[in-house]
Amino acid sequence: MIDYKKQIGELIASKIPDMEAAEVVDMIEVPSDRKMGDYAFPCFKLAKVLRKAPPLIAADLAEEIKGDEMFEKVEQVNAYLNMFISKESLVKDVVKDVIDQGEGFGRSNVGEGKPVIVEYSSPNIAKPFHIGHLRSTGIGNSIYKIYDAMGYDVIRINHLGDYGTQFGKMIVAYRKWGNEEDVRKTPIATLLEYYTKFHVEAEKDPDLEQEARDTFARLEKGEPEELELWQWFRDESLKEFTEVYDMLGIEFDSYAGESFYSDKMPRVLDELNEKGIMKESRGAQVVDLEDKGLGTALITKSDGSTLYITRDIAAAIYRKETYDFYKNIYVVASQQNLHFAQWIEIVEMLGYDWARSCVHVPFGMVSLEEGTMSTREGRVVFLKDVLEQSIEKTKEIILEKNVNTDNVDETAKMVGIGAVLFQELSNNRIKDYVFNWDRVLNFDGETGPYVQYTHARSASVLRKAGEADVEEARKLAAGGELKGDAITGDAAYELAKLIKRFPEVVIEAGEKYEPSIVTRHIVSIAQAFNKFYHDEQILVDDKDERIAKLTLVMSAGTTIKNGLALLGIGAPERM
């Protein structure tokens, strides 16, 4: 695709003595008001060099470059050189590029195959997979897809929370109040009931907390009875988690959780001791980070048991030695900001120069209208229930409106799950929000179903046009032989400009770890396509005009589909 900014930079630089094209490119602006052109070049900085007033410089440059075929017009406004790109040139260039690349449109080789780890989802074993987990799961999966589209070699890790004192509590609760049959029937709901009961009973009998700590200590030492129960809880939990991942279409390359690093922690403790980084405090082992403004990091408790921080340091070292990552991205809630800042600082203190390649990508919290979610109190909304209700509501709408679809159940699943994911990924990830059933299941406005419907509309236009016209449009666009003067209207041009920006948007989203940038852009493309659809008749009698417009329909549909795919959302052909 033509890089107009670069071409303009080279053209202007050729008219200015001793000025590099790259310097001109950095100065070029994109006006927010289309009336000021597609690109603008401010001439203030040239006044000293050319010994002229900026408006005169702008006027001279306008006269020199206005004849170039890439421009529709060039004008001087005060000290600015305003340039309007040829609509026909841009639209023909855009549709050729999209049709040539197809599903590859938006992909790049920015990453050059460098290994990047994305750790996301990471639920706790024996606890519910609730609506809050959708944040890490959805955001993380989208970041994986965006980095994959940028050409990185991405490794997806689900760092399961399968270790820690809570397993001591769970084992104690099961032994006192549980039974095998109930756990096998409904593992997570039953284990949650036991976990909740433990905390209720511990309020009455504080000795239960010590019993749980002792039980976890035995688990850490590999005692057979505790190990067997822990493995059973883990296996049963994974069965339920996998059901949700299957619904979302999410896969992982590794499920190595906290327990995987239990035999790798002694090395970390030895290194901390050898380098004099760790010291004793009231029987516990700590690292003093006060001078860094990060407080004191607790490494091991007074009973010798380890904590999250120890395991995260061990995990980072293992990952670097195993994958030699370029980046190690952690999609974890903002509540853990201090935790990540501490352990990354400690890794750097240990002398590992790759420490800052570990990147924490925080996100805001989800709460319920009745307050913060609490596993201990059993106040949660199961993610599986949300997905199933969204699918069911979508199916009701499809049947009620007698939607022409190939497969009602498949479309309902694609749209229902898409609605939940799209809402999750439509706002800036750092924002907190309150979960509300009505909002999740509202399909009106700038939602996933709206964007999916727009894709289905583009597919419908192509079906009505017929296979012969679609193939001819594809052939003419690819060969650069399209008669593009039929797609130079304002609606067509604005749509083409948004499509052109899509590859840049993908890179920006990756650099900022922000899927909502993609989400908002494909909403804009959908809106622009619908305006084009309403403003201009597409399937007209004039063949050249019809073929030209079909190439833009194809390009819009492909871009929307590719954008939805980066969010982990499908694009129905009929809706």
Together in a domain, 428 and 467: yes
Confidence of residue 376 (pLDDT cuts 50, 70, 90): low
Tokens of residue 106, six digits: 């938006």
- In this structure, are residues 90 and 500 in contact, taking their beta carbons and an 8 Å threshold? yes
- In this structure, are residues 517 and 505 in contact, taking their beta carbons and an 8 Å threshold? yes
User: Which among 12-26, 440-454, 515-529 has the top mean pLDDT?
Assistant: 515-529
Edge-first strand order for the sheet with 71-77 is 39-42, 80-85, 71-77
Together in a domain, 77 and 218: no
Edge-first strand order for the sheet with 433-435 is 371-372, 366-368, 433-435
CATH number at residue 547: 1.10.730.10
> Which of these three, 64, 85, 106, is where a domain ends?
85
Together in a domain, 186 and 319: yes
Q: pLDDT tens for residues 281-299?
A: 999 999 999 999 999 999 9
- Residue 227 lies inside a defined structural domain of this protein: yes
CATH number at residue 351: 3.40.50.620
> 88-92, 151-155, 187-191, 203-207: lowest mean pLDDT where?
187-191
- Residue 292 lies inside a defined structural domain of this protein: no
Together in a domain, 192 and 312: yes
Q: Which of 478, 489, 471 is nearest to 545 (CA)?
A: 489
Together in a domain, 334 and 452: no
Together in a domain, 320 and 228: yes
Between CA 516 and CA 522 the distance in angstroms is: 10
Confidence of residue 371 (pLDDT cuts 50, 70, 90): low
3-state secondary structure of 10: helix
Confidence of residue 453 (pLDDT cuts 50, 70, 90): very high
Cα atoms in the 13 Å half-sphere on the side-chain side of 125: 30
Between CA 57 and CA 22 the distance in angstroms is: 19
Q: pLDDT tens for residues 109-129?
A: 999 999 999 999 999 988 888
**pTM exceeds 0.85:** yes
Between CA 493 and CA 143 the distance in angstroms is: 30
Rounded mean pLDDT, 412-429? 94
Number of CB atoms found within 10 A of residue 199's CB: 17
If you search the block for the tokens 């899927």, which residue do you land on? Answer: 515
Top-confidence residue, 98 or 398: 98
Domain span including residue 22: 4-85
Number of independent structural domains in the chain: 3
Q: Known catalytic residues? A: 127, 130, 133
- In this structure, are residues 61 and 28 in contact, taking their beta carbons and an 8 Å threshold? no
Element at 51 (helix H, strand E): none
Burial level of 13, CB count in 10 A (0-12/13-18/19+)?
Answer: middle
- In this structure, are residues 149 and 108 in contact, taking their beta carbons and an 8 Å threshold? yes
- In this structure, are residues 283 and 302 in contact, taking their beta carbons and an 8 Å threshold? yes
DSSP string, 134-202: HHHHHHHHHHHHHHHHTT-EEEEE---B--SHHHHHHHHHHHHH--HHHHHHSHHHHHHHHHHHHHHHH
What's the mean pLDDT when you consider all of the chain?
A: 93
- Residue 99 lies inside a defined structural domain of this protein: no
Q: pLDDT tens for residues 31-53?
A: 988 889 999 999 999 998 899 99
Return the pLDDT at 377.
Answer: 62
Q: pLDDT tens for residues 550-559?
A: 999 999 999 9
Give the torsion sign (CA, 517, 523, 529, 532): negative
Return the pLDDT at 485.
Answer: 86
DSSP string, 311-334: HHHHHHHHHHHHH--SEEEEE--G
- Residue 191 lies inside a defined structural domain of this protein: yes
Between CA 53 and CA 46 the distance in angstroms is: 9
Return the pLDDT at 373.
Answer: 60
Return the pLDDT at 378.
Answer: 61
pLDDT at 440 over 80: no
Return the pLDDT at 43.
Answer: 96
3-state secondary structure of 269: helix
- Residue 249 lies inside a defined structural domain of this protein: yes
Q: pLDDT tens for residues 300-349?
A: 988 777 788 999 999 999 999 999 999 999 999 999 999 999 999 999 99
Rounded mean pLDDT, 522-528? 97
Together in a domain, 135 and 246: yes
